[in-house]
Amino acid sequence: MLNKFTLVPKAPWPTDQVITQENLYKRAWKLLRKDPIALTSLILIAVLIISALFAPWIAPYDPNEQMLSKPLSQPSPQHWLGTDEFGRDILSRLIFGARISMSVALGSQFIVSIIGFWMGLIAGYMGGKIDRIISFIIQIFASFPYLLFAMALIFVLGPGLLNLFLALGLLSWAGTARVVRAQVMSLKHREFVDASWMMGASHYWIMTKHLFPNVLPSLIVLATMGIPNAIIAEASLSYLGLGVRIPTASWGQMIFAAKPFLQTFPLYSIATGILMMLSVLAFNLLGDRLRDALDPRLSGR
Amino acid sequence: MNNTIPLLSVQNVSLSFKQSRHHQVHALKNISFSIKQGEIFGLVGESGSGKSTMGRAIARLVTPQTGSIKLETRELLCKMTSKERLDSSRDIQMIFQDPMSALNPKWTVMQMLLEPLHIHQGKLPKQEKEDTVFTMMQQVGLDPAFANRYVHEFSGGQRQRISIARALMNRPKLLICDESIAALDLSIQAQIVNLLKSLREQFNLSMIFISHDLSMVHYISDRIGVIYKGDLLEIADADTIYYHPQHDYTKSLLHAIPKITLV
Amino acid sequence: MDKKDIIAKIDNLHIDIKTQAGIIQAVRGVSLDFEAHKTIGLIGESGSGKSMMARTLLGLLPAGGAITSGHIYYNNTPIETYTQRQWRNLRGKEIAMIFQDPMHALNPLMTIGKQLSEAIVISQKVSWKLAKIQALDLLKKVGLEATPERYHSYPHQYSGGMRQRIAIAMALSCKPKLLICDEPTTALDVSTQAQIIELIIKLQKEYGMAILFISHDLSLVSQMADEIAIVYAGRIVEHATTKEIFLQPKHPYTWALLSAIVHFQPKNEVLYTIEGSPPLLINPPKGDLFSYRSEYALDIDFQENPPFFEVSPTHRVASWLQDPRAPSVTMPKLLQKQIQILRSQQEGNFHE
């Protein structure tokens, strides 16, 4: 029988283990997948983007094809959502309208992110006079009555898709710049920045390789939450006739066009309105969930 | 290998900064000392004494108003072109106190350790750079298998090892340890201090060990400087400071160290 | 034997904490008695469970934390099942705490005088006027001047050491019977640390409360503690008077902690380190968990948790090495030397 009171030679300790936590983005993805609201929003957005990309193959009809024999017809097996005042298939127009909305939203947000990032980064990192100048510029752009100026810009530039990107992008970068500036101002005092500097890194190196990855999660959230505004802005401008040129289908235009028929053919406005509302809602909810998922403080250590 | 020129020569360095509109803080008052090659110099003081500021001044992270800091024969307190800064930055490196903020949370260990090589030895082939990283990881006691992990997956002690590895990648001559063990558990502190001592032998390093923990400073340093409110009050070798202090302040510091009291 | 004035008791306490990674058994069967006028020093590394023990005495377990078995007695009343409402009558009134960061106890937006007075009004139900007088008196007791300027000043105007004094004043404003100090001096300079310790000792003489002093620094705790309890992996491994812990330590973990004191270690040798790290207490294996890191592990250490063996009426050790069937082991040589030095200091009362 083994004597339980024998000394056991000490086994060497296995090398210090490392607790595995994932990459912030992988973890965020896992969290979002589990959240029913985030998942629904993601699916809806995916549907919108796919419709936008593959519109010519998905839409049952050419959105501009006028079938004057049956204007404003009720939903039927041939036209699931009916036809508009020119006999064009509403469903097809909505699908092509998604193209406009998505491209304007994503395109303008991209411009916003780029301008906002660089302005915020340089202001926050350089500090001093440069910061004061840029902050002043940010203030100016932040105080513009957004839509009015978009209207003015379009007047000047003329209607059209690219001008729409520019107008919306140029006017809404201030919020992003402010957030980036604040983050950079606190990050630049972190010791890893000192360490890099001591190593001989240049300012550019520090800004792009160290600060940018730390600011990226915020940029993603800001862009996601800026998209609803862009969608609504595009719709508003198109409603006012300042968006894309007719006859290109656009949700805003369709809402305008549906106005006279609110009583006789409400489905026209309702369908468009609901689709727009769902898109805006989806991006807002996703942005909100993304903010929580990407928050470094919530990621355990 | 015995140079008569000291490795680091600090002369009459003074630094003050504005804390508020009317309040100037004199962080360093006319400080002078030198460090021999291969020596560990302990700089001990309480909070607000200026010890960290001295470290940062040597690291060129803050600029003193007057004085000179020379690394061998090269003056550090002067305007440098970016090329000069690049060259001189190889020689002095620093380990910081907070193992969490000293490393970029979005980078992997491999990226952190490659950075010094990218900046100074960009022309080396990728494989050679990565091999250097693996070797260094082993030398500081980290398993190279974890090179692709993110910094936040490591414990405090392991992160300090990563900081040390990063600092040593380009074989600096002087390593400044600014309260590098204060944020660690006691048993991990001992491991890191043992590591630093052995690395001194392996890499022929000189070190400045900044701390408020007098027992630890006595253990690791060859010579100690005691600093109080910007003044360097006493410099002597470690045993002399610890067992036969001359200055009253040093005596009071030693007296305040908790001694085992068996009543 | 004098009748002991036991203020509070922990009896075979088990605390579990639910986390994402699993259920952590933070405290696994701890028993301690707190007597008036006496200080117990609790020594352990991070993850040992010592903070949980402190928090549970105030009903401040974190979310997901719960007492799974055992009792806490205050004045002979079991309080482990108290609701938050009931805890409010104890917390800050009979049982108080000082934290490592004094700002955990201080409101940065209120003057220190007002905070103190408020605490007094709430705990002792006296008028504001009377409370103000007591507040000024307290300020004096903790070493600040009892002037109107001080009364109307804010915490941020003070250094760490002074803030800790204010926090101590807050804790004592209700004349607690049990004071818990959770690493109160870890963030302070050495000289400030010494002053704060002196202050706490002085106040204990005056107020007579029982003190639980939590720390990782054995030398520091020796200045204040009558008894020292060494905690590892949620259990007490050794508990004795201060003298016995330093001069007759029995548990290998205690030996390791004592060997690690930097002051005694020669410069030309590598610092003593304990290999490995404290275990994560999710589904911990049976037995004495320190055996995985110890040179003195017995076979049975990996199978059964050692019971307490009494070395003296005041000294208990949870180690199978104390069992009569165990082989006799000697502590490391360096530690023996250290103990000799301490003994001769004691006898000769000379400074080293």
**Contact by Cβ (8 Å): C250, C262:** no
Q: Which pLDDT value is given to residue C311?
A: 93
Phi and psi based region of residue B141 (left: phi greater than 0; alpha: psi -120 to 50; beta: remaining)? left
Residues of C in contact with B252 (CB under 8 A): 191
Is A160 part of a structural domain of the chain?
Answer: yes
pLDDT, averaged per 10 consecutive residues of chain C (352 residues), comes to 77 91 90 94 89 90 90 90 87 89 90 91 89 91 88 89 92 92 89 92 93 92 94 95 94 93 90 84 87 88 90 94 88 90 78 48
User: Per CB distance under 8 Å, which residues of C are interface residues toward B?
Assistant: 45-46, 160, 189-194, 197, 216-220, 222-223, 242-243, 246-247, 260-263, 265, 267, 270-274, 277, 342, 346
Chain A residues with beta carbon closer than 8 angstroms to that of C276: 13
Cβ atoms of C113 and C158 within 8 Å: the answer is no
Of the residues C37, C39, C189, the best mutation for testing chain B's interface (the one with the most B CB atoms within 10 Å of its CB) is C189
Identify which of C299, C321, C162 has the alpha carbon closest to the alpha carbon of residue C254.
Answer: C321
- Please, which residues bridge with residue A194 across strands? none
CA-based nearest residue in chain A for residue B120: A200
- What pLDDT band is residue A19 in, cutting at 50, 70 and 90? low
> What is the structure's pLDDT at A123?
95
Instruction: Print burial letters for B223-240: b (CB count within 10 Å at least 16), e (below 16).
Output: bbbbbbbbbbbbbbebee
Chain C residue numbers with beta carbons less than 8 Å from the beta carbon of B263 are 242-243
Q: Are C236 and C53 contacting, i.e. CB atoms less than 8 angstroms apart? A: no
- Is a pLDDT exceeding 80 seen at residue A14? no
Q: How far apart are CA A293 and CA B67, in angstroms?
A: 51
Confidence of residue A300 (pLDDT cuts 50, 70, 90): very low
CB contact under 8 A, A301 and B86: no
B179 contacts B212 by C-beta, under 8 angstroms: yes
The answer on pLDDT for A301 being more than 50 is: no
CATH number of the domain residue A213 falls in: 1.10.3720.10
Residue B134 has a CB neighbour count (10 Å cut-off) of 16
Nearest to A198 among B93, B101, B143 (CB): B93
Amino acid (1-letter code) at residue B78? C
Task: Among C298, C304, C320, C323, pick the best mutation site for testing chain A contact (most A Cβ within 10 A).
Answer: C298
For residue A52, pLDDT over 50 is answered with: yes
Question: Can you tell me the distance from the alpha carbon of B41 to that of B208, in angstroms, rounded to the nearest whole number?
Answer: 5
Q: How far is B84 from chain C (nearest CA, A)?
A: 39
Check residue C1 and give its pLDDT. Answer: 42
Contacts B215 to C, Cβ<8 Å: 262-263
Long-range Cβ contact pairs of A36-43 (< 8 A, separation 24 or more): A37/A285, A37/A289, A38/A285, A38/A286, A38/A289, A38/A290, A38/A293, A40/A282, A40/A285, A41/A281, A41/A282, A41/A283, A41/A285, A41/A286, A41/A289, A42/A286
**What pLDDT does residue B115 have?**
94
Which of A20, A190, A201 lies closest to B101 in CB terms?
A190
Q: B16 lies in a domain?
A: yes
Q: Do A5 and C294 touch (CB under 8 A)?
A: no
Structurally, how many domains does chain A consist of? 1
Q: What is the pLDDT of residue C225?
A: 94
What residues of B are in contact with residue A194 (Cβ under 8 Å)? 59, 61, 94, 96
Residue of B nearest to C220 (CA): B258
For residue B173, give every residue at least 6 positions away whose Cβ sits within 8 Å of its Cβ, in sequence order, or none: B7, B37, B71, B72, B91, B92, B205, B206
- Answer whether residue B176 shows pLDDT above 80: yes
Place of tokens 């804390």: B19
- Cβ proximity of B5 and B180 under 8 Å: no
B61 vs A contacts (CB less than 8 Å): 194, 197-198
Q: Report the residue of chain B nearest A25, measured CA to CA.
A: B106
Q: Between C291, C299, C320, which is nearest A2 by CB?
A: C299
Residues of A in contact with B59 (CB under 8 A): 194, 198
Supply the DSSP symbol for A208.
I
User: Within a domain: residue A253?
Assistant: yes
Q: What is the dihedral of CA A169, A170, A174, A176, to 10 degrees?
A: 30
Q: Does residue B118 belong to any structural domain of this protein?
A: no
Residues of C in contact with A13 (CB under 8 A): 275-276, 292-293
Contact C300 A4 (CB under 8 A): yes
Provide the pLDDT for residue A258. Answer: 86
Compare B181 and A6 and report the one with higher pLDDT. Answer: B181
Q: Are the beta carbons of C155 and C108 closer than 8 angstroms? A: yes
Using CA atoms, how far apart are residues C272 and C270, in angstroms rounded to an integer? 6
Instruction: Sort out which chain C residues have CB atoms less than 8 A from B257's CB and list them.
Output: 190, 219, 263
The residue range of the domain holding A107 is 100-301
Task: Give CA angle at B74 (B73, B78), nearest 5°.
Answer: 145
Residue C33: HSE in the Cβ half-sphere, 13 Å Cα cutoff: 9
Q: Is C301 in contact with A8 (Cβ distance < 8 A)?
A: yes
The C-alpha of B45 sits at a distance from chain C's nearest C-alpha, in angstroms, of 9
Q: Which residue has the tokens 């309080």?
A: C79
Q: Where are the alpha helices (DSSP H) in B140-178?
A: 156-168
Contact A10 C301 (CB under 8 A): no
**What are B84-107's pLDDT values in tens digits?**
888 888 999 999 998 888 999 889
Q: How many CB pairs under 8 A join B and C?
A: 84
* Closest listed residue to residue C285, CA positions, set C262, C308, C302, C269: C302
Rg (CA), chain B: 19
Contacting subunits of B (3+ beta carbon pairs below 8 A): A, C
CATH of the domain at B59: 3.40.50.300
Chain C: nearest CA to B169, how far in angstroms?
24
> Distance, in angstroms, between C216 CA and closest chain A CA?
22
Residue-wise pLDDT for B31-74, tens only, equals 999 999 999 999 999 988 999 999 999 999 999 999 999 999 88
Q: Are B61 and A198 in contact (CB under 8 A)?
A: yes
Domain count, chain B: 1
> What is the C-alpha to C-alpha distance for residues C50 and C30, in angstroms, rounded to an integer?
10
Q: Tell me the pLDDT tens digit for each residue of B197-225.
A: 999 999 989 999 999 999 999 999 999 99
Please state, in angstroms and as integers, the Cα–Cα distance from residue C341 to each residue in B167, B179, C337, following that order: 40, 30, 6
Residues of chain C in contact with residue A10, where contact means CB-CB under 8 angstroms, are: 293-295, 297
Q: If interface means Cβ-Cβ distance under 8 Å, which residues of chain A face chain B?
A: 15-16, 18-21, 23-24, 190-192, 194-202, 205, 209-210, 213-214, 216, 296, 299, 301
CB C335 within 8 A of CB C246: no
Inter-chain residue contact B152 with A21, CB threshold 8 Å = yes
Average pLDDT, chain A: 84
Between chain A and chain C, how many beta carbons pairs sit less than 8 Å apart?
40
Residue type, C64: G
Q: Which of C275, C293, C325 sits opposite A5 (nearest CB)?
A: C325
Q: Residue C273 and residue B197: Cβ atoms within 8 Å?
A: no
